[in-house]
Amino acid sequence: MKPIIKLILLLISGIFFSMAQANPPGLEKGFHYQEIVPNQPTTDATKIEVIELFWYGCPHCYSLEPYLKRWLAQKPDDVKFIQIPVQFRADWTMHAKMYFTAKYLGILNDIHETIFDAIHMGKKKFKTVDSVRTFFKEHGVSEKDFNKTFKSFAVRNQIVRTKKLARLYGVNGVPALIVNGKYRTDAKMAGGNAGITRVLNRLISYERKLQTQ
């Protein structure tokens, strides 16, 4: 009987161990984060990927920016950060086009916060191509370069691609943060904007540990 009892005890201890490891340390699934089912592929298997899904017109996304900026300044080298402008409504597409136009023009880092400020502080709407073109011209982009990039296949392709991603990640509101295609969190789950970086760091540490096992 002793070998059988020992086997039973090992099985029971294994069950309790797996239950204890079901959540990253300090976090609770369903409370601090949600698991994405099925898990989604990442763009670089050598990195831990963090994705921010946002909309320039979202006041909550705007208020999150300073927290993410501070977090990015200390981001570990093995973490890859990606932004995705979502399009839950047709009128959000213009803002997504602004994002990708700036990205392909190589000025996204310079203009990203400025677009947020223009909308939330300057009360700009950016509902028409003319208003967007004027904004880019005010920030040093020629009309020719703007038109070529804004209407490019690369921008159109990204618009089509990113329309699908919110659904795949199970996101129905912004801002939302995705860690390695497996976990989704937001300010409500994290206990406010200040808590998001704490949850992100713990999910990243958990993923890093899993990758070394």
Query: Has residue 17 been placed in a domain?
Result: no
Q: Which two tokens stand for residue 112?
A: 């990203």
Domain containing 182: what range? 28-212
Each residue's pLDDT tens digit, 69-116: 999 999 999 999 999 999 999 999 999 999 999 999 999 999 999 999
Residue with more model confidence, 13 or 42: 42
Q: 1 or 63: which carries more pLDDT confidence?
A: 63
H-assigned helices in the chain: 2-20, 59-73, 93-105, 108-120, 129-138, 143-150, 153-168, 187-190, 193-212
Evaluate whether residue 201 is within a structural domain.
yes
Structure token digits, residue 119: 């909308």
| Whole-prediction pTM | 0.87
Mean pLDDT estimate for the chain? 90
Segment 144-159 mean pLDDT: 98
Residue 21 placed within a domain = no
Q: Is residue 4 part of a domain?
A: no
Provide the Cα torsion 57, 59, 65, 66; round to 10°: 140
Asked whether residue 15 is domain-assigned, the answer is: no
Q: Mean pLDDT, to the nearest integer, of 54-58? A: 98
Q: What is the structure's pLDDT at 212?
A: 83
pLDDT band at residue 135 under the 50/70/90 scheme: very high
Domain tally, the chain: 1
pLDDT tens-place string over residues 30-44: 999 999 999 999 999
pLDDT of 211 reads: 85
Q: What is the CATH number of the domain that holds 68?
A: 3.40.30.10
In this model, does residue 144 exceed pLDDT 70?
A: yes
| pLDDT band for position 2 (cuts 50, 70, 90) | low
User: Is the residue at 178 inside a domain?
Assistant: yes
Phi, then psi, of 48 in degrees rounded to 5: -95, 120
Q: What is the mean pLDDT of residues 202-209?
A: 95
- pLDDT at position 148, please? 98
